[in-house]
């Protein structure tokens, strides 16, 4: 009795295995596509717009190529000028615009921000930067809701503006005003992705949201309420949320642990940043240049490592030397330490503003640091407006 052949014929075997291989290959491609899509959606806001998700992912990716250069209110004014169309101290110093532009939206109940820049103008500059392919980041030196004083009025208010507090409804009015402004930042009906950096330098005591002026639990509650209110109540889905303690208040023996003071959780933060004026030449730091450089490197290495562990972008969200009193500051203090330490992977650095000849942090034509800044600009590690592309698209080359 001949046993039944339960196996395909020779030609059938080939067809069978071809179909299996094809099926496996298609399945692998679908899994890979799903993983890529999941990575692109790794934002605080799971309903974030496609371009916001892409920007968030690209902030992580671009650190492999270099770091983007940013400047606060670069288009609004500079040394010796205010509100001149197309002007930029940075562009006039090197021939190119910054890749990242910082803005502040405090004094949101008035026509002008804390630096007397009209909100209507800020909106137009945000649109201009976006159309060029650049990136906008927003800070908020928000006034004390309880007293009516400014951000530096340290009378306790956090407990009063949280849900259930006596000033909670007044604080929500503030949130509504900034929500309205950020919702107005759009092109052809499409919202412009914005990096929002509220309640910065909270580990210092100089702001009302700072350490000693509220508890750590209150700070975390404030951050979480703000994020939840903006994305869930006001339906802002074009924000990337940036956390930024101050370097001067980090414990050098426990950089990571002290950095995480007040951290609201991975589900509430997209970008790990910090502000560092301490290690870049400030007058009150009595350490030698080499010691400051070592601290600068250690802090940014920690930040980069932590960001990688958490799958976040890392950024030096504020830095600079007032007056740029060191003629080789850009290459000596910023570029070379980062260049010589590949453990540092930053999406961007952002210098503070250029208000006048004494209070400025970026270069301008004729300044003693202008030639050094040109060297800084030409280095392949520094990325300016002309160096970047596709920051709002997924899976595309990011540098030219």
Question: Within its chain, how far is the Cα of 150 from the centroid?
Answer: 24
Q: Which residue among 128, 318, 322, 332 is the active-site one?
A: 318
Query: Which residues does residue 348 pair with via DSSP β-bridges, in sequence order?
Result: 68, 315
Name the DSSP letter for residue 192: P
Residue 201 falls in the annotated catalytic set: yes
1, 112, 142 from 76: Cα distances, Å:
94, 12, 20
How far is it, in rounded angstroms, from Cα 152 to Cα 144?
8
How far is it, in rounded angstroms, from Cα 89 to Cα 95?
10
Task: Let me know if 257 is exposed, middle or buried by CB neighbors in 10 A (0-12, 13-18, 19+).
Answer: exposed
- Work out whether strand 77-78 and strand 81-82 pair parallel, antiparallel, or are unpaired: antiparallel
How far is it, in rounded angstroms, from Cα 293 to Cα 303?
15
Q: By the 8 A CB rule, do 221 and 165 touch?
A: no
- Residue 140: Cβ within 10 Å count: 22
Beta-carbon contacts of 217 under 8 Å, excluding residues fewer than 6 positions away, are none
Residue 73 falls in the annotated catalytic set: no
Q: Find tokens 């004729």 and name the residue.
A: 366
Q: Which two tokens stand for residue 275?
A: 């502000």
Q: By the 8 A CB rule, do 167 and 157 touch?
A: yes
- Work out whether strand 382-383 and strand 186-187 pair parallel, antiparallel, or are unpaired: unpaired
Q: Which residue among 57, 108, 201, 218 is the active-site one?
A: 201
Beta-carbon contacts of 62 under 8 Å, excluding residues fewer than 6 positions away, are 68, 347, 383, 388, 391, 398, 399
- Residue 309: Cβ within 10 Å count: 11
Active site residues: 201, 318
């Amino acid at each position: 009795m001949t046993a039944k052949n339960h196996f395909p014929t020779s030609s059938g075997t080939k067809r069978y295995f071809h179909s299996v291989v094809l099926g496996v290959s298609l399945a692998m491609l679908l899994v890979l596509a799903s993983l890529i899509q999941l990575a692109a959606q790794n934002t605080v806001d799971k309903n974030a717009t496609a371009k916001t998700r892409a920007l968030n992912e690209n902030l992580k990716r671009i650190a492999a190529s270099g770091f983007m250069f940013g400047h606060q209110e670069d288009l609004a004014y500079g040394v010796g000028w205010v509100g001149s169309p197309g002007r930029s101290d940075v562009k006039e110093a090197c021939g190119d615009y910054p890749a990242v532009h910082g803005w502040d939206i405090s004094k949101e109940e008035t026509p002008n921000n804390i630096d007397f820049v009209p909100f209507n103008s800020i909106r137009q500059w945000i649109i201009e930067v976006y159309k060029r392919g650049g990136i906008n980041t927003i800070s908020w030196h928000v006034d004390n809701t309880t007293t009516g004083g400014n951000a530096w009025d340290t009378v306790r208010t956090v407990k009063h503006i949280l849900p259930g507090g006596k000033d909670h409804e007044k604080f929500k009015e503030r949130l509504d005003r900034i929500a309205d402004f950020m919702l107005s930042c759009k092109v052809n009906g499409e919202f412009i992705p914005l990096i929002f950096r509220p309640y910065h330098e909270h580990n210092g005591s100089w702001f009302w949201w700072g350490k000693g002026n509220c508890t750590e639990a209150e700070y975390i509650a404030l951050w979480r309420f703000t994020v939840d209110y903006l994305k869930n109540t006001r339906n802002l889905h074009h924000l990337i949320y940036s956390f930024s303690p101050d370097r001067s208040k980090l414990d050098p023996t426990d950089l990571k642990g002290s950095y995480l003071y007040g951290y609201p959780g991975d589900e509430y933060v997209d970008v790990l940043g910090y502000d560092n004026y301490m290690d870049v030449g400030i007058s009150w730091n009595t350490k030698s240049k080499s010691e400051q450089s070592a601290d600068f490197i250690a802090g940014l290495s920690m930040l980069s490592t932590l960001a990688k562990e958490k799958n976040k972008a890392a950024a030096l969200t504020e830095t600079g030397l007032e007056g740029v009193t060191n003629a080789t500051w850009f290459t000596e203090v910023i570029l070379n330490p980062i260049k010589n330490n590949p453990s540092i992977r930053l999406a961007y650095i952002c210098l503070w503003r250029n208000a006048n000849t004494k209070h400025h942090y970026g270069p301008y034509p004729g300044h003693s640091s202008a030639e050094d800044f040109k060297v800084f600009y030409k280095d392949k590690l520094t990325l300016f407006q002309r160096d970047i592309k596709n920051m709002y698209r997924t899976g595309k080359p990011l540098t030219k």
